[in-house]
């Protein structure tokens, strides 16, 4: 009934093998937790913070494709080191109403801020990788001199 095989630490936001045609497909909390490799407590915590808002059938949570999309975005944000509160403002942006012109311009301004942040991270990341490369080279030279 649900998808399998989603190893943690992937770049994709969604686990694969999800029937693309069924927009009406739903999942239980255990299913989404398993597929995304988190506990149900984590999923509930994200709901408490307003990161996802599953439907309720009676008292039970029912997750739709939209919730999975958002959960995927949350976890990628976490892998990138963003705090959950900040992640919420970001993904809320994607779902924000953009009817009026002022709203659209606000959204565009937010996008610029976000991009600046991400690009700073990219520079840090490239610098760290470059240093790692240089360090490995020196280590290999040391190793060459030893034998």
Partner DNA sequence: CACGTTCTTGACGTTGACGTCAACGTAAAG
Partner DNA sequence: CTTTACGTTGACGTCAACGTCAAGAACGTG
Please identify, using beta-carbon distances, which residue of 30 and 140 lies nearer to its own copies.
140
Q: How far apart are CA 147 and CA 144, in angstroms?
A: 6
The CB-of-118 to DNA minimum distance in angstroms stands at 17
The CB-of-133 to its own copies minimum distance in angstroms stands at 8
Q: Is 80 in the site for its own copies (CB under 8 A)?
A: yes
How many other CB atoms sit within 10 Å of the CB of residue 84? Answer: 14
The CB-of-145 to its own copies minimum distance in angstroms stands at 10
3-state secondary structure the chain: CCCCCCCCCCCCCCCCCCCCCCCCCCECHHHHHHHHCCCHHHHHHHHHCCCCCCEEECCEEEECHHHHHHHHHHHHHHHCCCCHHHHHHHHHHHHCCCCCHHHHHHHHHHHHHHHHHHHHHHHHHHHHHHHHHHHHHHHHHHHHHHC
Region binding its own copies by CB under 8 A among candidate stretches 9-17, 31-39, 46-54, 60-68: 9-17
Q: Is 129 in the site for its own copies (CB under 8 A)?
A: yes
Contact residues toward DNA (CB under 7 A) are 28-31, 38-42, 44-45, 49, 58-61, 78, 83-85
Region binding its own copies by CB under 8 A among candidate stretches 30-38, 44-52, 59-67, 136-144: 136-144
List residues binding its own copies (CB under 8 A). 9, 11-13, 76-77, 79-82, 94, 98, 101, 104-105, 107-108, 111, 114-115, 118-125, 127-129, 132, 135-136, 139-140, 142-143, 146-147
């Amino acid at each position: 009934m649900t998808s399998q095989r989603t190893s943690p630490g992937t770049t994709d936001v969604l686990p694969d093998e999800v029937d693309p045609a069924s927009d009406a497909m739903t999942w239980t909390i255990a299913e989404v937790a398993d597929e995304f490799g988190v506990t149900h407590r984590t999923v509930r915590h994200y709901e408490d913070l307003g990161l996802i808002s599953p439907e309720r059938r009676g008292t039970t949570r029912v997750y739709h494709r939209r919730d999975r999309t958002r959960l995927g975005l949350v976890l990628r944000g976490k892998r990138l080191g963003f705090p959950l509160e900040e992640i919420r403002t970001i993904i809320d942006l994607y779902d924000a109403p953009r009817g009026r012109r002022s709203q659209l311009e606000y959204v565009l301004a937010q996008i610029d801020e976000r991009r600046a942040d991400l690009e700073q991270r990219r520079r840090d990341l490239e610098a760290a990788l470059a240093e790692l490369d240089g360090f490995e080279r020196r280590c290999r030279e040391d190793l060459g001199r030893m034998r």
